[in-house]
Structure formats: C-alpha cells, structure tokens
Chain A
C-alpha cells in the first residue's frame, strides 16, 4: 500500500498489545445483515440477495421484527432446478430483476448481493451486474458485492457495498479544491451535525459517502481527503486510495474525546491550527461531557466484557474506558484491522485483553468466570446470559442508533448505562 496513515497521536505503539486469536465457532451475523441499515440509508437503492431460503430468513429475522415498511431488499432464492442446470441462472436473474424493477420504479441503484451458496456455485454476479446495467441504463445502475458469511462478517457487508460504489463515484477534476469525504453510513441527524461542525471549523466542501440518493454520490479525485466514520471499512478505504484519495487517520467519532480527535485529524489535514479548533469546538465538547456525566456515575469502575460482533468493539472499549471510567475485561472483535485502528489501540489501557475471532464456548467460559458487570454481545447470547444473572447490552443497537458525534455521546453512554439502571430498578 502506498499511503500509510499518520502515526497515532499518543500512547504505545499498537503492535505492543498482545492479541488472543481464536478460531472456533463464531456467533456472528454474516455481511447480508448490513442491508438492514444500508437500505434505509440509500433511499433509492434496492438490495437483491442471490441466495437461499436461509438468506431470506436471516434478513427477515434480523430485520423483519424491526421494520414494517415495505423493504427495499429481497432474495432471489436459488432452487433445485437452478442447481441442476435445468434453468439458466442468468436468465432467471434477468427475469427476477425485470419483475422487481417493474414493481419498484423508484429504484435507481440495484445491488446484486452474493451469498454463501452463490459464492460456492460460483455464480458470476459481476457479469450479471454489467449485463443488467447495460439493459436498464440510464434509469437504473446495477452493482454487485458479496455479503456472504464465508467472506464477510456483519458490518463487513457495508464495507463490501461501499467498496462496490467506489469505482463508479464521479471523477473530480485534478485541479479541484481539496475536499473532505466522510466515509461510512451514518444517520441523517449525525451527518447534519457533523456537516455543521465542519462548516464551523472551516472545512469545505464536505461530502458524505454513501449519499442518501444514488445520483448524489460524492465526487472523487486526487484532491479528495477521506476520513472513515466507521472502523470496518478496510476495502472501501483501499478502493478510495487506489483512486488517488488521501486517507486521514484518526480515532473514531465516538464520545467527546473521540469526536474531538476525529475532527482534529480532519482539521490538521486541512491546515487548521489546533488553537482555532479548540476555540470553536470547546463548547460542543463540554456539552457532550455534561451529557455523559450522569451515566459516568453509573458506569465508572464497572467491568465490561465484549463479545465480537460489529467491529465497533475497539473504539467502544476506548470510549468506555477513557470517558466513562469502565474497566475492560476482554475486548473481542471479529477482525482487528491494526492499521485503521492504530489510533484507537494507542489509547487503550496497556493491559487490555484483545481477542480477534471467536470460539464462542470458550469465550462464554471466560465470561462466566470473570462475572463482568456488563456484557456487550449479539442477540443470540443476550437472553441466555441475562438468565445467568449477567447484565447485557445487545450490540446490534449500536448500528441502528445514532451514536457518533458530540451530541450523541450522552446517548451512547446511556445505551450502556440503561441495562445496569434497569437491573437496579426492577423489584421482581
């Protein structure tokens, strides 16, 4: 890789932190799950999973219980006759896409999303996307990526989707003024807040990727500086750099400190003096700290244990340890991207137990033995752990709730404090 991010601002070199690598049963979602928030984010995009009934059932189970609107996702279920070669998979796909686009004329961007079975039978969705794109242009463009469980874990599905968008982002002229691209699906309220903050500190123009509509995707060129807003976007970052964009390394905008460091990294890249920055952001940061204070009173000194899930674990652990005074027992994450997390790892306590990957039974043994005050885990584990008298925070909520930026710092703290408050409150 040609570009390496700036060294972490403070603390230890991240390579010094030991990591336990586990390779057993992983109790995680596959990348298809990120469709659940991506389809709300890009409002004229449709996600067509080419997969099995299991894929459809997963999306329905992960999303169906939460979202009652007509979804902008569906599954083209592979059947016996497709596998036996009785039906040509490409003809079948064309027929389904045609039916779908006739039904949903508001769709401008269609993602063909690969799954475990489509990967195993080596269905060439790239070629299908090119063919369908030619057929439905200019009304609809068709892209493809894989959200399969054999290749992606949960939030990596967003990474794969955004990485598929990178090659089709409009080219920005080489003589354009430097621009900032904020990368990662954020809720609209967070985007709007961050846009105001960037305006205040004098960074312009600022684009968000992905945009809310398919035709408004941001331009990209050699003058584009990009900053990740989510920690799981390794492929997207690689694609952006391959197209000449310059990365800005930073911790992630979780908590008051995280947000200040994140904005600070962007400001530094745009040549804004730190003194000017703190003058402009001081009030926002103070407000965030005030909002966190009541939750800090509940959380400080409590022990927290992370099961691997969203890849947000490391930034969240840093936030909980540094801003809320929690003790980290174990911080497990599906993948540890040392490069993108360099600034985060440098801020973790030096004795933290980091785990990459999972062997769920062994991790449950460790968790039970450690008796943490709070366990951050997926939905499959939460109730069984509660039944064992542990207190849990389900991690999927961290993807559906606005948590980034100063004005969400209090909300983010509250998400962790609520299970503890509730346990203390109930008299049953």
Chain B
C-alpha cells in the first residue's frame, strides 16, 4: 500500500478515456462500479468540454455482484452501440471490475458487433494514467492502421519525388497540458517549413484517419509519454521515422526544426528552414539578455513534473534563463532511465517519485527561489512562501486559459518567459533592493524603526525582544536596512546565529550572516 494525499496521475483507465475522448466516432464502454462516472467532470469542468466524453459506464452495485455483472456489461455494450453507432468500440475494466474478472474483451467479442472492438487490459494496480493513455493509443492505432497499410509499398523520399513532405502529429489529447495550443503552434511551424500534415492523432482523429497513418513520410511525436510507443510501432510497421526532439524552449525548437528538415529531405539552408528558424516573433533570447534579467543569474530553481516537461524546463532554466537547477524530478517512472542520464548533466540527484510528501521534503530542503512544478508543487510552494510556476500536468482548470498559451515553439518560449518570471519580483525592483541591501550607509529612507515613528512595516519591528538577543549596535544597523528586506535580513541573521550558537547577535554576526547568505 502507498499513502497518498494527492496523486500526480489518475488510474490507467483515465488515460484510456483521454484517448477515447480525443478521437472521433469512438465509444468506450467501461466496466466499473457506481461512482467512476466522476471522470466525466474532468472533461466537462476542467477542460470545459461542451460534450460528455463518449463513455458508457456499467456502474454496477453490490446487488449486481451477487447477480450477473457479465450480462450487465454485455447489455451496456449492446445499448451503447445501438445509441451511439460508433465506428469503433473500446472496452475495458476499471480497478474494481478488474478484480471481478468478467473479461470485457471476450464478452464484447461474443456480441459480434459489425465494427472493430478493441479490448484494453490496463492493470490498475500497477500502472497509471499516462501509461494507460499510451497503451490505449497504441492498441487503437494497431487495430486501425494495420489493414489499410499492409498493401502499401515503401515510398521514396519526398525530395526525390518533387512533392511536399507529409507528416503525422502524434500525442495531443483531451485533458492534455497545453496540448490545444502546442498543436496550433507546431502546425504553424510545419506550415512555414512547407510540410503537409496528414493525420493529427489522437486529438480529432476518427478511425478512418488512423487508417491513413501509414501514408506519411515521418511522425512528429509531441508527447513521448503518450505517443512514443505508437511511434515505435509505426516505425517498425511502415518504416516511418519519428522526431526525438520535443520543441519546448528556444534551443529545442531550433533542434526540432533541424530534425524535421532532415526527415523531410530539406536542405539546412533551404529558405523555408531559414524562415522557420528566424522566428520573427521570438522574444525570449533578447529579454533574457536584457540587463534587467541579470538578477536571474544563478537563482535557485527546483523542477518537478512529467519527464518531458521537467527536462525541458531544466534546459530552459539553465541555458536560456541562466538559473541554477538545484532540484530536478519527475513522476514519470516509465522514463526514469532517460531522466537519470539527463539529470547528471545538471549535477543534481534526480528525484523519481510519485510521493507528494517526498517532493515536499525535497523542496523544503533545497530552499529554492523558484519552483517549477505541477499544481501540487504550487501548493507546496505556497506553504513555503516560494514563487512557483506550473509547467506540467496533473491538469487544472487554469491550464486551459482562454487565450493562446502554448509551451511549444517560439511563442511557447515567449509564454514560458512570462509565466516563469512573473512570480518572481520584477528584475529592476530586485536589482535596486540588492543595491540598497549592500549599501547601508547611503540609505536614509528607512527610519530607525525601533523608535516606532514611521508606519510602513513589512517586517516585525526591530525591537530587542527575546528569544534571540541582539546588541543595540547590531539592532541599529538592522534598522538601516530598507523595511521591505529587513525581515529577511533579520530572519537570516537569527537563523545563522542559532545554527552556530551565537548569542547575543553583534554587528559582526550581522555581517557574517550577510556574507554567508550572499554566497
């Protein structure tokens, strides 16, 4: 058993629901107890979808367990087919139905429906949401793509045929973190490169579209957590190569363009490649070089999320914003090996866990100035008083903003700059604060607050109160620090003194502490 307050991923059948809901003309019959229908609200309330997800739940109860749950399942499949007339049916069990072993696949098969029925076996006590999404996408693609592609001969490269290269985009789903906006961004980028888009899947694809997957020259994999398995199969089956670079951040977007150009047979200096690389609306590089951003240098950042977004965040933080990565972790155990290798380049020990309490402990210990995490880390950071930006699922209503807010491509990089920097203090402000802090003597704006003549007090008054004793001279010096950083200076000094058993705090202690904390 695992003690869980919050969970980073749902059970695997939620992943299957995301795939079924992404696709068109597909219906999912889930053998499940009453109550599992809560999942509908993920789609209708978090993503604000206008239609119910295409899911029928058997919603068995105790009285059904004593009777015939298998018959209940068969009736549900029959009724769902009659009502919804899908092109393809997906059947499976949620965690409780897995225990009663009714064999949904076999039962549905016995009904001999005139459409393909894809049984999903998603072990609910071992696996989780992303695995379930990946497996479901793979099984459905296998069922749809194979027959249509079997007779197709291998195609010569696009460049030798004088036609536009053709690619599929794999990975975007319903309830995906910024998938809607990433997709728009990547479609535009591929358009600039002159590459035609065949099938986008699973988001918006019907079984008939999946049948055409084999026609493309290559696959663009946006989210390896969801589409890597399927892309590997398509590679084996149809010889389609797939992109390896996830275009999050400036550098990754440029590498992605180069990779896509190579897969399309475009010359690295072809006009369309040059145009794509130019990124006329890209602002992150200049904003990051702008002098007001110097305060970002080596700011300590702790990163946690799914593997793709956490690794991308680390790269952007270090290479494109000049932050210092002091913690890097993921809940995507499936990607643990790659993640460990990548974490080495940041000189940090990777945190691979889905235990929220462990993440909380690690963040507290790392004392970062910024947390880049999930909604859960946002809660942790709030408690610890640390600024935080959200970079990854689990999904939240805030991740479906009304405006275009991609994470991918150059516009994604711009959006990242804004989203990560805003929680921090504005650069110029912090720069001035730092100047004041190091310039006690020239600073006259802050009154001697222990005399209590002036009002604005962001920090506790510098009165000489126990338990930590200050000598008067040190206290007067403390009072010269601007009020908005005085509290921090006081806390740091007292922490420094307490750790070393120093009492009372003298002028020396104050400056020793200052030297210590300024690294």
Which residue numbers of A lie inside 8 Å of B, CB to CB? 24-33, 50, 52-54, 56-58, 60-62, 64-65, 68, 70-71, 74-80, 82-83, 87, 89, 92-93, 95-96, 99-100, 103, 116-117, 119-121, 148-151, 153, 361, 378-384, 387
Listed from nearest, the 3 A-B pairs whose CB atoms lie closest are: A30-B35, A149-B35, A380-B40
* Contact A77/B2 with A57-B11, A58-B35, A379-B41 known, Cβ cut-off 8 Å: yes
* Given contacts A68-B379, A117-B96, A150-B65, A387 and B125 within 8 Å (CB-CB): no
Residues of A within 8 A of B51 (CB): 384, 387
Kindly list 19 other residue pairs between chains A and B, CB separation below 8 angstroms, not including A52-B11, A54-B14, A378-B41. Answer: A50-B1, A54-B13, A57-B11, A61-B42, A65-B45, A68-B382, A76-B1, A76-B2, A78-B125, A83-B125, A119-B62, A148-B33, A149-B61, A150-B33, A150-B34, A150-B64, A151-B61, A384-B50, A384-B52
Inter-chain residue pair count (beta carbon < 8 A) = 185
A116 in contact with B33 given A52-B124, A80-B123 (CB within 8 Å): yes
- With the chains together, A70 CA to B379 CA distance in Å? 9
Q: Mark B303-314, 1 if CB is under 8 A from A, else 0.
A: 000000000000
Contact B11 A150 (CB under 8 A): no
* Interface: B367 (CB within 8 A): no
> Which of A32, A93, A95 contacts B35 (CB under 8 A)?
A32
Contact of A54 among B2, B59, B94, B397 (CB under 8 A): B94
Q: Is there contact, CB below 8 Å, between A30 and B34?
A: yes
Please indicate the chain A residues that have their CB under 8 angstroms from the CB of B83 in the complex: 361
**A53 and chain B: residue at smallest CB distance:** B11
Q: Of the candidates A80, A99, A100, A378, which one forms a contact with B125 in the assembled complex, judged by CB atoms under 8 Å apart?
A: A80
B463 adjacent to chain A (CB < 8 Å): no
Given known pairs A53-B7, A80-B126, the reply for A383 and B95 (CB within 8 Å) is: no
Given A54-B94, A151-B61, A74-B49 contact (CB < 8 Å): no
Question: Which residues of chain B are within 8 angstroms of A78 by Cβ–Cβ distance?
Answer: 1, 125
Q: Which of A27, A31, A57, A62 contacts B14 (CB 8 A)?
A: A57
Measured CB to CB, the nearest residue on chain B to A147 is: B35
Interface SS, A side: helix
Task: A115 to B60: give the CA distance in the assembly, Å.
Answer: 14
Taking CB as reference atom, which chain B residue is nearest A26? B59
Whether A61 touches B99, Cβ cut-off 8 Å, given contacts A74-B3, A78-B1, A153-B34, is: no
A328 and B72 alpha carbons, distance in the complex (Å): 32
Which B residues are CB-close (under 8 A) to A56?
4, 6-7
Chain B residues contacting A50 (CB-CB under 8 Å) are 1
Interface string of B28-44 (1 = CB under 8 A from A): 00000111111111101
* Contact between chains at B34 and A28 (CB < 8 Å): yes
Say yes or no: is B5 at the interface (Cβ < 8 Å to chain A): yes
- Of A25, A58, A149, A380, which is within 8 A of B56 by CB? A25
A57 in contact with B34 (CB, 8 Å):
no
Q: Are A121 and B65 in contact (CB under 8 A)?
A: no
In the complex, which residues of chain A have a beta carbon less than 8 angstroms from the beta carbon of B5? 70-71, 74
8 A-B pairs whose Cβ atoms sit less than 8 Å apart in the complex? A26-B59, A60-B394, A75-B4, A96-B3, A150-B62, A151-B61, A380-B40, A382-B45
Q: In chain B between 452 and 486, which residues have their CB closer than 8 angstroms to a CB of chain A?
A: none
Find the A residue at minimum CB distance from B394.
A60
Q: Determine if A26 and B37 form an interchain contact, defined as CB atoms under 8 angstroms apart.
A: yes
| Residue interface bits B55-89, CB-to-A below 8 A is 1, else 0 | 01111111011000000000010010001000000
**In the complex, what residue of chain A is closest to B37 when comparing beta carbons?**
A27
Are B36's CB and A380's CB within 8 A? Answer: no
Contact of B95 among A61, A116, A382 (CB under 8 A): A116
Q: Which single residue of chain A is at the shortest CB-CB distance from B51?
A: A384
**Chain B: number of interface residues, binned into ranges:** 35 or more
Docked complex Cα distance between A340 and B139 (Å): 50
Which of chain B's residues have a CB closer than 8 A to the CB of A116?
33, 35, 95-96
Task: Point out the residues of chain A lying under 8 angstroms from B254, CB to CB.
Answer: none
Q: How far is the CA of A32 from the CA of B35 in the complex (A)?
A: 9
A60-B35 in contact given A25-B58, A383-B49 (Cβ < 8 Å): no
Residue of chain B at shortest CB distance from A30: B35
Shortest beta-carbon distance, A83 to chain B, in Å?
6
Cβ contacts under 8 Å, B38 to chain A: 29-30, 33, 58, 61-62, 380
A381:B52 contact, CB within 8 angstroms: yes
Chain B neighbourhood of A27, CB < 8 A: 37, 40
Most chain B beta-carbon contacts within 10 A, residue among A100, A116, A382:
A116
Interface positions, chain B 377-424, Cβ under 8 Å from A, are 379, 382-383, 394, 396-397
A384–B44 CB distance below 8 A:
yes
Contact in complex: B1, A54 (CB < 8 Å): no
Residues of B near A121 (CB, < 8 A) are: 99
User: Does the CB pair A52–B3 fall under 8 Å?
Assistant: no
B99, A25: Cβ atoms closer than 8 Å: no
A27 to B41, CA, bound (A): 10
Q: How far is the CB of A296 from chain B (nearest CB, A)?
A: 30
Kindly supply a per-residue 1/0 record for chain B positions 351-390, scoring 1 wherever the CB is within 8 Å of any chain A CB and 0 otherwise: 0000001000000000000000001000100110000000
State whether A120 and B100 are in contact (beta carbons under 8 Å apart), knowing that A29-B38, A74-B3 are contacts in the complex: yes
> What's the Cα separation between A32 and B36 when bound, in Å?
11
- Contact partner, A120, options B10, B96, B124, Cβ 8 Å: B96
CB–CB B96/A77 < 8 A: no
Partner of A53, one of B60, B124, B394, B397: B124
Minimum distance in angstroms from B59 CB to a CB of chain A: 5
Closest-by-CB residue of B relative to A119 is B62
**A contact residues around B383 at 8 Å (CB):** 70
Docked CA distance A173–B412 (Å):
71
Chain B residues with Cβ below 8 Å from A80 are: 123, 125-126
- A54→B99 contact, CB < 8 A: no
CB distance from B399 to the nearest CB of A (A): 12
Interface: B491 (CB within 8 A)? no
B289 interface contact, C-beta 8 A: no
CA distance A24 to B72 in the complex (A): 9
Kindly report which residue of chain B lies nearest to residue A49, judged by CB atoms: B4
Give the chain B neighbours of A75 by CB distance below 8 A.
3-4, 7
Q: Return chain B residues, CB-CB under 8 Å to A148.
A: 33, 35
Does B1 contact A92, Cβ atoms closer than 8 Å? yes
**B205 contacts the other chain (CB 8 A):** no
B128 at the interface (CB under 8 A from A): yes
Return chain A residues, CB-CB under 8 Å to B394.
Answer: 60
Bound-state CA distance A137–B281 (Å) is: 66
- Please provide the chain B residues from 8 to 30 with a CB less than 8 Å away from any CB of chain A in the complex: 9-11, 13-14
Q: Considering the chains assembled together, what is the distance between the CA atoms of A90 and B313 in angstroms? A: 41
Closest chain B residue to A149 by CB distance?
B35
Q: CB of B488 within 8 A of chain A?
A: no
CA of A99 to CA of B358, assembled, Å = 13
Instruction: Say yes or no for B48: interface residue by CB 8 A criterion.
Output: yes
Tell me the bound Cα distance from A65 to B46 in angstroms: 9
Which of these, B34, B62, B64, B126, contacts A79 with CB under 8 Å? Answer: B126
Identify the closest chain A residue to B375 (Cβ): A64
Shortest CB–CB separation between residue B118 and chain A, in angstroms? 21
Closest residue to A334 on the B side, CB-wise?
A: B34
In the complex, the chain A residue whose C-beta lies closest to that of B2 is A77
Instruction: Select from chain B the residue with minimum beta-carbon distance to A84.
Output: B125
A residues in contact with B2, CB < 8 Å:
76-77, 79
Q: Are A57 and B7 in contact (CB under 8 A)?
A: yes
Please report the C-alpha to C-alpha distance between residue A76 and residue B355 in the assembled complex, in whole angstroms: 12
Task: Select which of A24, A79, A103 is within 8 A of B1 by beta carbon.
Answer: A79
Let me know if B1 and A87 touch, CB within 8 A.
Answer: yes
Q: Which residue of B lies closest to A364 (CB)?
A: B52
Q: Pick the contact of A25 from B6, B41, B44, B57 — CB < 8 Å?
A: B57
Query: How long is the Cα–Cα vector from A416 to B79 in the complex, in angstroms?
Result: 34
Give the complex CA separation of A74 and B355 in angstroms: 12
- Once A57-B11, A61-B42 are accepted as A-B contacts, the answer to whether A25 and B76 lie under 8 Å apart by CB is yes
A52 to B95, Cβ gap below 8 A? yes
| Distance of A381 Cα from B126 Cα, bound (Å) | 31
The answer to whether B37 touches A65, judged by C-beta atoms less than 8 angstroms apart, is: no
The residue that A150 contacts in the complex, of B10, B39, B96, B397, with Cβ under 8 A, is B96
Could you tell me the distance in whole angstroms from the C-beta of A300 to the nearest C-beta in chain B?
30
Write the nearest CB–CB distance from A378 to chain B, whole angstroms.
Answer: 7
Could you say which of B13, B35, B45, B79 has the most chain A C-beta atoms within 10 Å of its C-beta?
B35
